[in-house]
Amino acid sequence: MLKPVDDRLVETLRTELPGLSIGTPGAAYLEEPRGRYKGAGGVLVKPTSTSEVATILRLCNAAGVGVLPYGGGTGLVGGQIIEDGPAAVIVSLEKMTALRAVTGHVLEIEAGATLQAAQEAAESAGRLFPLSIASQGSARIGGVLATNAGGVNVLRYGNARELCLGIEAVLADGTVISGLRHLRKDNTGYDLKDLLIGSEGTLGIITAATLRLFPRPAAVGTAMMVVESPAAALELLELAEARMPGCVSAFELISGQGLRFLDAAGPEVHQPFAARPDWSVLIEIGLPEGLGPEDALTGLFEAAGDLVSDGVIASSESQRAQMWTLRESLPEANKRIGSISSHDISLPLPKLAQFIEEAQAALAELGDLRINCFGHVGDGNLHFNAFPAEGRDRKEYESLRRAIPETVYDLVDRFGGSISAEHGIGRLKVEDLERYGDPGKLAAMRAIKSALDPKGILNPGAVLAER
């Protein structure tokens, strides 16, 4: 059983680390973007080096006090908020933002740097760090890795996991793992990097990382195309990848519901199609020299035949930006409308279209709902969110708060999908993981957690249910 952080531990921290910033967490550390969780407080520390993080963990572990690793606070599943239980030490990496090294292929950066800072450092070196998510201005590299963030470019470049070559991390007892390799190939023992990535701060605190950089595509093309259905969108993806293998960097599904939400609630964006199409896609390609992106997209449009009924190809950087602004405004429009239940799920591609049909039908049986289904369809990743019918308030749907996710996740499970494609488990989905997770995997996860963090101090209550 963990103990609450007390004056004695604070005193010990002050003695061993005289320069350490120690204080009371302000409101910003106790809130999360969707307002579902409210932090209980505790003590906030802001280490400035890996060795300080190691000392903090060693002392907390010795005292049996919980530790909450804190990045940018942008997670959507409550992984960064402790609502109850013994007060913990919140370890924010915000002072560890150094860019340690940049080469043509690798960025070595501390975990407190924002994702945007990493992207900008890559750009300054004439390279691309392709990970891109809506919260990149605030999300910090440590959190991005701890949650294995995804976003819009996974199709071509992979998740955070695949974009990270190595990490430096501190385990519960203060052991430092120094794995900042600048290597693409390194088969020397167990893959601790990938074990820590996606463990949501429950196995260690990532303090720095080496990130893969890519050459920037010689030319980028962006288009929006109207399709009849999600099935047609997937056929179009297939066609695009057959014509331009490895060059399709984003393929986003947009539903008419999402466009109508934008019309009704804003933010104000430029909509390329006067009549809001039921289904459209945003496609982005990056090409080698010698191929023009507008030609390539026109060629795709023509080859698509009946699959695509209308389309707009961006002919300038500002048109391209408009398309992305539309896409990236969808979550804000959702927020303004106010969802009853949101689901970050993934499906095997061949089953995705059928899933959407069945899930919409199943939810329609539950009640009068609006569904905004959109997302990174090229990765099989959907944001499948349920909203009140027009003119109704979400309070009227209290009785469905549990039934909606249960219906969606049961179906996801039956289709071989994932109940958390890119946001993670955090505290929101702990019970869902117990329910839908593979028992063998859960048993192994508990064994690993016990081995690396025997007192359970790291992010207590996240990912694995406390027993």
Binders of its own copies: how many residues, by CB under 8 A?
Answer: 97
Q: What is the Cα 141 distance to its own chain's centre? A: 12
Per rule CB under 8 A, is residue 457 in the interface with its own copies? no
Q: Could you say which of 18, 19, 104, 391 contacts its own copies (CB under 8 A)? A: 104
- Is 158 near its own copies (CB under 8 A)? yes
235 forms part of the interface with its own copies (CB under 8 A):
no
Of 35 and 440, nearer to its own copies (C-beta) is 440
Q: Do the Cβ atoms of 354 and 346 come closer than 8 Å?
A: no
Which of 62/102 has CB closer to its own copies? 102
What's the min distance (Å) between Cβ of 217 and its own copies?
5
**Which phi and psi (to 5°) does residue 207 adopt?**
-105, -20
- Sequence-distant (6+) residues with CB within 8 A of 162 are 212
Torsion sign (Cα): 301, 307, 311, 314: negative
Q: Does 119 bind its own copies (CB under 8 A)?
A: no
Closest Cα to residue 207, out of 64, 87, 103, 100?
A: 100
- Give the separation between CA 355 and CA 361, rounded to whole angstroms: 10
Tokens of 239: 């066609």
Rule CB under 8 A: is residue 385 a binding residue for its own copies? no
* Buried-exposed string 240-274: b where 16+ CB fall within 10 A, e elsewhere: bbeebeebbbbbbbbbbbbbbbbeeeeeebebbbe
Judge residue 408's burial from the number of C-beta atoms within 10 Å of its C-beta, 0-12 exposed, 13-18 middle, 19 or more buried: buried
| CB of 241 or CB of 410, closer to its own copies | 241
Contact between 162 and its own copies by CB under 8 A: the answer reads yes
The first and second tokens of residue 156, run together, are: 């071509």
Binding track, positions 405-434, relative to its own copies; x by CB under 8 A: -----------xxxxxxxxxx---x---x-
Listed in sequence order, the residues at least 6 apart from 183 whose beta carbon sits closer than 8 Å to its beta carbon are 165, 166
Q: In angstroms, give the least distance from the CB of 465 to its own copies.
A: 11
Site string for its own copies, 62-101 (x = CB under 8 A): ----------------------------------------
User: If binding is defined by CB under 8 A, does position 247 make contact with its own copies?
Assistant: yes
Give how far Cα 83 sits from Cα of 46, 52, 434, Å: 21, 26, 20
The binder of its own copies chosen from 243, 276, 335, 392 (CB under 8 A): 243
Does residue 311 contact residue 323 with C-beta atoms inside 8 Å?
no
Among 299, 309, 332, 392, binds its own copies (CB under 8 A): 299
161 binds its own copies (CB under 8 A): yes
Site for its own copies in 323-382 (CB under 8 A): 346-350, 376, 379-381
Nearer to its own copies, 13 or 377 (CB): 377
Which residue's CB is nearer to its own copies, number 129 or number 397? 129
Shortest distance, position 224 Cβ to its own copies, whole Å: 20
> Near its own copies by CB under 8 A, which window of 11-19, 22-30, 234-242, 270-278?
234-242
Give the range of 116-124, 260-268, 281-289, 317-325 binding its own copies by CB under 8 A: 281-289
Site membership for its own copies, residue 451 (CB under 8 A): yes
Out of 244, 269, 297, 307, name the contact with its own copies by CB under 8 A: 244
Helix segments in 305-375, DSSP class H? 317-337, 349-366
Distance CA 120, CA 265 (A): 32
| Range 203-222, binding its own copies (CB under 8 A) | 203, 214-218
Give CA–CA dist 213/125, Å, rounded. Answer: 9
